A and B are shown apart, each in its own frame.
Chain A
Amino acid sequence: MKLPGSGLAKGLAVTLRTMTKKTVTAQYPEVQPDLAPRTRGVIALLEENCTVCMLCARECPDWCIYIDSHKETLPAVDPNARARTRNVLDRFAIDFSLCMYCGICIEVCPFDALFWSPEFEYAETDILELTHERDRLREWMWTVPAPPALDPAAEEPKEIAMARKAADKAHAAAQSAARAAALPKGDES
């Protein structure tokens, strides 16, 4: 049988033990928080990579990405070729007062122009200021961390695998060509 009041004593022990332990309070303004990798702070734009495909703006559930662009015609390099057109970005803005940080724009971007940055201290006193224009979005790029390393047992990244495959193929072809050249003619039975 349990002693009467043993539960009460256990409760007292819990609080006393907690008092001797280190507190978990984060003293944020003095001490910066220890953020997890892949923290979703703000979205950065690498505008050099942007082709104005508009996928991000169309997929955005909040419609908070504004893109303006115009087409430019490039003169043909070859007199026989036709002139090429290309999209030029005029405006790229994200309204962070609407953004819900779902990250879909970053997922859908086919050319790796959008990135998560862990910076989160961009509060404003005026809501209009929360619409970050392209230069500000470009500035956030400097805060984007290097991608975290893959897990030890992870599959090789696709681009590396493809490059390796191509290199192996070229290597094998070169080797067989060399072997063919080294062998005297007529021995190919």
Chain B
Amino acid sequence: MTFLDMLLRCVAVLAVFLVLPLVIGQTEHKVMAHMQGRLGPMYAGGFHGWAQLVADGVKFVQKEDVVPADADRRVFQLAPAVALLPYLVVLLAIPVGPGGFVGQAVDAGIFFVLAVMGIGVLGSLMAGWASANKFSLLGGLRTAAQLMAYELPMLLAAASVAMAAGTLSLPGMLEQFEWWWVPWQIVGAFVFFVSGLAELQRPPFDMPIADSEIIFGAYTEYTGIRFAFFLLSEYAGILVICALTTVLFLGGWHGPLPDQLGWLWTVLKTFALALVVIWLRVTYPRLREDQLMKFAWTTLIPLALAQLALTGIVKVAIS
């Protein structure tokens, strides 16, 4: 791999990272509005408000960047970057199409991806602690509790796929993929997707943000561009979770088109899942904190373990 090749891949991933989350955000604006019988943004950019998020970005940049007097200044300022950057790094390792169509093929890809995604949550924790604000602290602690509860079923569900494929590399898994993996791993897919949502703190799992109860959780004290980074990290997170679910459970680039168009399948599946994320947000009210914990420990973890057992049995039976 030459230096130029590497540079190109990095730029491509960066472009995807900057564009697709905005596309998802705009889709959310419009889809959510129509699901609620509204029109959503209609003015920015002229045609059905397509430039709404650009306008939002310009507004955020213009705002004053306030750091509270009692805040832990450095940590406070660093937190948005810690929340945002891991998703960029994860995006590097997600295979889009066959034949090395990936930012960087990592041997232990699934380990790498899950480990780095855990760091993203650390950003919220840092923000919650450094803000010197009760609501932020509550939000930060809820984030921590949620991370503890949902990381486990997520790992177990991912482990099931790794076991089925017999490899930890993401492109390797996709090369092993057969169509019947989808029904075989369907419970794991559900567990992975739902705990991914919880890790992103998306409604109905947005207890740590819960704007009607604890203002905006860890992000209460943030303004301007740093706040925008947190929001962007949420949408980048949706992209990453949906892409990962696609790769692990829905067969990534596999589909009825020739392999050259495999990337199209990945993108299509990812967007379909992103629509589901939006759909869930519009439909369900927020879970209470104890319901949230109960759901993870009494529903998702047993389901993930059952999936793991099933994968093991089938794997032994067919070998």
Please list the residues of chain A having a beta carbon within 8 angstroms of any beta carbon in chain B: 8, 11-12, 14-16, 18-19, 21, 23-25, 27
List the B side residues contacting A24 at CB < 8 Å: 37-38
Q: Does B264 touch A at the CB level, under 8 Å?
A: no
B46–chain A nearest beta-carbon distance, Å: 13
Closest to A22 in B: B37
**Known A-B contacts A12-B279, A27-B42; A18 and B37 likewise in contact (beta carbons under 8 Å):** yes
Complex Cα gap A120–B84 (Å) = 48
Complex Cα gap A21–B37 (Å) = 7
List the B side residues contacting A8 at CB < 8 Å: 284
Complex Cα gap A11–B34 (Å) = 15
State whether B279 touches A15 (Cβ < 8 A): yes
Which 3 A-B pairs rank lowest in CB-CB distance, beginning with the nearest? A25-B39, A15-B35, A19-B34
Closest to A21 in B: B37
State whether B37 touches A11 (Cβ < 8 A): no
Complex Cα gap A24–B282 (Å) = 17
Q: Does B31 touch A at the CB level, under 8 Å?
A: yes
30 residue pairs bridging A and B, Cβ less than 8 Å apart = A8-B284, A11-B283, A11-B284, A12-B279, A12-B280, A12-B283, A14-B283, A15-B35, A15-B36, A15-B279, A15-B282, A15-B283, A16-B35, A16-B279, A18-B35, A18-B36, A19-B31, A19-B34, A19-B35, A21-B37, A23-B33, A23-B34, A23-B38, A23-B39, A24-B37, A25-B37, A25-B38, A25-B39, A27-B39, A27-B42
A178–chain B nearest beta-carbon distance, Å: 71
List the B side residues contacting A11 at CB < 8 Å: 283-284
Q: Which of B282-313 contact A (CB under 8 A)?
A: 282-284
B143–chain A nearest beta-carbon distance, Å: 25
Complex Cα gap A14–B37 (Å) = 11
List the A side residues contacting B282 at CB < 8 Å: 15
Q: Which of A14, A18, A21 has the most C-beta atoms of chain B within 10 angstroms of its own C-beta?
A: A18
User: What 1/0 flags go to B117-159 for Cβ under 8 Å of A?
Assistant: 0000000000000000000000000000000000000000000
Complex Cα gap A162–B36 (Å) = 55
User: What 1/0 flags go to B31-58 for Cβ under 8 Å of A?
Assistant: 1011111110010000000000000000
Complex Cα gap A18–B31 (Å) = 10
Complex Cα gap A18–B36 (Å) = 7
Complex Cα gap A13–B239 (Å) = 24
State whether B42 touches A18 (Cβ < 8 A): no
Complex Cα gap A8–B279 (Å) = 12
Q: Which of A12, A15, A16, A21 has the most C-beta atoms of chain B within 10 angstroms of its own C-beta?
A: A15
List the B side residues contacting A18 at CB < 8 Å: 34-37
Closest to B281 in A: A15
List the A side residues contacting B280 at CB < 8 Å: 12
Complex Cα gap A19–B40 (Å) = 12
List the A side residues contacting B39 at CB < 8 Å: 23, 25, 27
Complex Cα gap A18–B38 (Å) = 10
Q: Which of B5-46 contact A (CB under 8 A)?
A: 31, 33-39, 42
List the A side residues contacting B284 at CB < 8 Å: 8, 11
Complex Cα gap A23–B37 (Å) = 4
Complex Cα gap A11–B280 (Å) = 9
Complex Cα gap A27–B280 (Å) = 28
List the B side residues contacting A16 at CB < 8 Å: 35, 279
Complex Cα gap A87–B67 (Å) = 69
Complex Cα gap A14–B35 (Å) = 9
List the B side residues contacting A15 at CB < 8 Å: 35-36, 279, 282-283
A111–chain B nearest beta-carbon distance, Å: 47
Complex Cα gap A184–B61 (Å) = 107
List the B side residues contacting A25 at CB < 8 Å: 37-39
List the B side residues contacting A21 at CB < 8 Å: 37
List the A side residues contacting B37 at CB < 8 Å: 18, 21, 23-25
List the A side residues contacting B33 at CB < 8 Å: 23
List the B side residues contacting A19 at CB < 8 Å: 31, 34-35
